[in-house]
Amino acid sequence: MPKLKAVTEDHPPRLRDEDAAPPRGAPSGAALEKAFDKQAERLKDLQKVFYADGRFALLVVLQGRDASGKDGVIKKVLGAVNPMGCEITSFKTPSEEERSHDFLWRIHARVPARGTIGVFNRSHYEDVLVVRVNDIVPRKVWSKRFDQINEFEHMLSLNNVVILKFMLHVSRDEQKKRLEDRLADRTKNWKFRAGDLKDRANWEGFTKAYRDVVTKCSTPWAPWYVVPADDDDVRNLLVARTIADALEALELRYPKAEKGVRELAIT
For residue 250, the Cα-to-chain-centroid distance in whole angstroms is 19
Q: Is 105 in the site for ligand AMP (CB under 6 A)?
A: no
Q: Tell me the residue number closest to ligand AMP, measured at CB.
A: 126
Chain CA centroid to CA 126, Å: 13
Considering the complex, state which of residue 133 and residue 162 has its C-beta at the smaller distance from ligand AMP. 133
Partner whose binding site includes residue 24, from ligand AMP, Mg ion, none (CB under 5 to 8 Å by kind)? none
What one-character DSSP code corresponds to residue 222? Answer: B
Query: Which span (12-20, 42-50, 119-127, 161-169) binds ligand AMP, by CB under 6 A?
Result: 119-127
If binding is defined by CB under 6 A, does position 159 make contact with ligand AMP? Answer: no
Find, among 127, 120, 143, 138, the residue nearest to 62 by Cα: 120
Report the alpha-carbon distance of residue 107 to residue 124 in Å, rounded.
6
Q: Determine which residue in the list 2, 9, 92, 254 makes contact with ligand AMP, applying CB under 6 A.
A: 92
Q: Which of 81, 131, 226, 238 lies at the binding interface for ligand AMP (CB under 6 A)?
A: 131
Q: Is the distance from CB of 82 to CB of 47 less than 8 angstroms? A: yes
CA distance 152 to 142: 15
Which of 15, 74, 89, 91: binder of ligand AMP (CB under 6 A)? 91
Beta partners for residue 61, in sequence order: 120, 165
Is 122 a binder of ligand AMP (CB under 6 A)?
Answer: yes
Point out which span in 108-116, 126-134, 150-158, 212-220 binds ligand AMP (CB under 6 A): 126-134
- Measured in whole angstroms, the distance separating CA 5 from the mean position of its chain's CA atoms is 14
Q: Minimum CB separation from Mg ion for residue 134, in Å?
A: 14
The site for Mg ion (CB under 5 A) is made up of 66
Backbone dihedral angles phi then psi of residue 196, each to the nearest 5 degrees: -60, -35
* Residue 71 CB coordination number (10 Å): 14
In the list 12, 27, 54, 94, the residue contacting ligand AMP (rule: CB under 6 A) is 94
Contact status: 201 vs ligand AMP (CB under 6 A): no
Task: Give CA–CA dist 267/250, Å, rounded.
Answer: 38
Q: Pairing state of beta strands 117-121 and 86-90?
A: parallel
> Where in 169-198 is the site for ligand AMP (CB under 6 A)?
195
Comparing CB distances to Mg ion, the nearer of 71 and 98 is 71
What residue ranges bind ligand AMP (CB under 6 A)?
A: 91-94, 122, 126-127, 130-131, 195
